[in-house]
Amino acid sequence: MRLFPLYLALATALSAAQPYRVGDTFAAFSTKDQHDKPYSYAGGARLVVVAFDMSSGKAANAFFEKQPADFLGAQQAIFISNIHGMPGIARAFAMPKMKKYPHRILLADSEDFLVRYPKKEDHLTVLDLDPKGAVTGIRFVDPKKGLPAVFPGAK
């Protein structure tokens, strides 16, 4: 009987590391944006767009760059880009370029930051959230063609 609390804690920790599924509650997180400004998410997004690789991130940035500067906020959307594992020399070129974008790019810069996000190679992951923060849909979007369907009416 003394092992039950330990088992429960272990089961909770393991389930927290599982990728999001429809019905899960999207968790709060803290990170920095491309301007090195702290960002804490505690709710309010309707869409979460995640780029796992550089080419997907570049395509998403090209799409968002064509939109008004407040586009993501107006859409109740956040954009997360994986920079974990990016070599120092690549960062030296990528970060100044990222700072030129008018939209906010949230940076995933630790090994475990994106562990909860479902992933499909060469695709963006889009999580649809309800007003209470529950995941209502998970989509894998072609980064070069799929964002207009995620954001109808975008340029």
Q: Say what the pTM is.
A: 0.86
Report the CATH number at residue 138.
3.40.30.10
pLDDT band at 98 (very low <50, low <70, confident <90, very high): confident
Q: What is the mean pLDDT of the chain?
A: 88
Q: Which residues contact 142 (CB under 8 A, 6 or more apart)?
A: 123, 124
Q: In this structure, is residue 57 part of a structural domain?
A: yes
Q: Is the pLDDT of residue 134 over 60?
A: yes
Q: In this structure, is residue 39 part of a structural domain?
A: yes
Number of domains present in the structure of the chain: 1
Q: Which domain holds residue 108?
A: 20-149
**Sequence-ordered strand ranges (E) for the chain:** 29-33, 38-41, 47-51, 77-82, 106-108, 124-129, 135-141
pLDDT band at 3 (very low <50, low <70, confident <90, very high): very low
Q: Quote the pLDDT of residue 16.
A: 56
> Cβ atoms within 10 A of the Cβ of 61, count?
21
The mean pLDDT value for 142-148 works out to: 95
